[in-house]
Structure 1
Amino acid sequence: MKKVIFISSTGGHLTELMQLAPMFDGVDATLITENTASNSSLKDKYGSKFHTLVYGTKQHLFSYLFIFAFNILKSFVLFIKIRPDYIITTGTHTAVPMCKIAHLFKKKVIYIETFANSKTPTQAGQMIYPIADLFIVQWESMLEVYPKAVYGGWIF
């Protein structure tokens, strides 16, 4: 059975990612997101197949640099522990290190650009686009921004 990490930051990106929950049944799925109170029920639901990274925001840049560095290390540890075949993400900064690590180890990266952007790319999208094995956009207009992407329609 294929091992798949589904990863995103909390909030809207996680809401989008959870739209893919029916796919969890067909694979050996692990869910990774940021550790926030709003995500606590996911630990109960997914148990040992649920992991968290430290929540951080770029609004507090100094502390975010340390949090981001820690999350890179933790992502590497989780990657080695889980040994996924695929990474599927809806973004954003939380998922970038995991995608880069997966690419380094020649694993498949599937990135779904957020529904929130219909005309402009996200920073995470711009970083993952060159390495993604499949890059999906939810707005047809985003094909102008990402010409090699696939239009998948709305995830909702």
Structure 2
Amino acid sequence: MVMLLVVLIFLFAFILMRIGYTLYIVNCCSDKPMYVQKSINVLVVLGSGGHTGEMLKIIRALNTVRYSPRVYVVAATDTVSQRRLQDMEKEFKDKAGVADKESLYEVEVVPRSREVGQSWLSSVFTTARAFVFSMLIVFRHRPSLIITNGPGTCVPICIAAFLMRVLCVCQIRIVFIESLCRVLSLSLSGKILYRLVDDFFVQWPQLKEKYPRSIYMGRLV
């Protein structure tokens, strides 16, 4: 019994040290560039409506040959985003002359953490369910890079990626791009993930003044 208690204390202390070390790396050393790879396995989190529109503009600006394969995460009820990204990927394939069987993208569907108007109490259980799905997706694909612009779906995905780093499973760089509509304050997702992501981009100078750790490069979308 004493031995078991010692082991548990050791594991708890180890996890706390790993969390502290990972937070230090994220907040103090995230300016280091990614290890140069021929191709980068990227996971993209899509929201609905404006979130999807902004994110697809960002993906179109990337070198799709280098940033592949691509994994898109969408909410279970978001059929519009799935249709839009499929149309975009078809354009990529037509432009590159790639056959359907050689597709370099995949779509993962996760349950929503919280529906509009859902009570906060019931959202605890739906968020836990979404987190389990997110952990499985991140563990299965182990992307080198995660890109998101703030939909609620991104929170469990980014926390899962952060935990993967804490547990030394894989190193995943997380890039958060705050939505263009956030001028004076961060979104709820942004507030939650501000200290957990490697690169936090804002598109208005007012946010850079309020959140000095953020990166302002003008309008990105």
Please, what TM-score do these two structures have when normalized by structure 1? 0.88
1:50 aligns with 2:107: yes
Q: Give the corresponding residue for 1:4.
A: 42
CA RMSD of aligned residues (A): 2.0
Q: Residue 139 of structure 1 corresponds to which residue in structure 2?
A: 204
Q: What percent of counterpart residues are identical?
A: 22
The corresponding residue for 1:39 is 81
Q: Which range moves more in the overlay, 17-26 or 55-64?
A: 55-64
TM-score normalised per structure 2: 0.64
| 1:16 aligned residue (54, 75, 96) | 54
1:20-99 pair list within 5 angstroms: 20-22=58-60, 23=62, 25=64, 26-28=66-68, 29-35=70-76, 36-42=78-84, 44-45=86-87, 49-55=106-112, 56-61=114-119, 62-99=121-158
Shift of 1:63: 4.5
* In 2, Cα distance between equivalents of 1:44 and 1:123: 28
2:217 and 2:130 map into 1 onto residues whose CA distance is: 30
Q: Residue 120 of structure 1 aligns with which residue?
A: 185
CA distance in 2, matches of 1:95, 1:152: 22
Q: Where is the strand percentage greater, Structure 1 or Structure 2? A: 1
* Runs of 5+ unmatched residues, structure 2: 1-38, 90-102, 166-171
> Which has the larger displacement, 138-147 or 32-41?
32-41
| 2:117 counterpart SS class | helix
Partner SS, residue 105 of structure 1: helix
Equivalent position SS for 2:140: helix
Q: Distance in 1 between matches of 2:211 and 2:151?
A: 17
Note the residue ranges of structure 1 that are not aligned, 5 or more in a row. Answer: none
Q: Matches of 1:79 and 1:24 in 2, distance apart?
A: 22
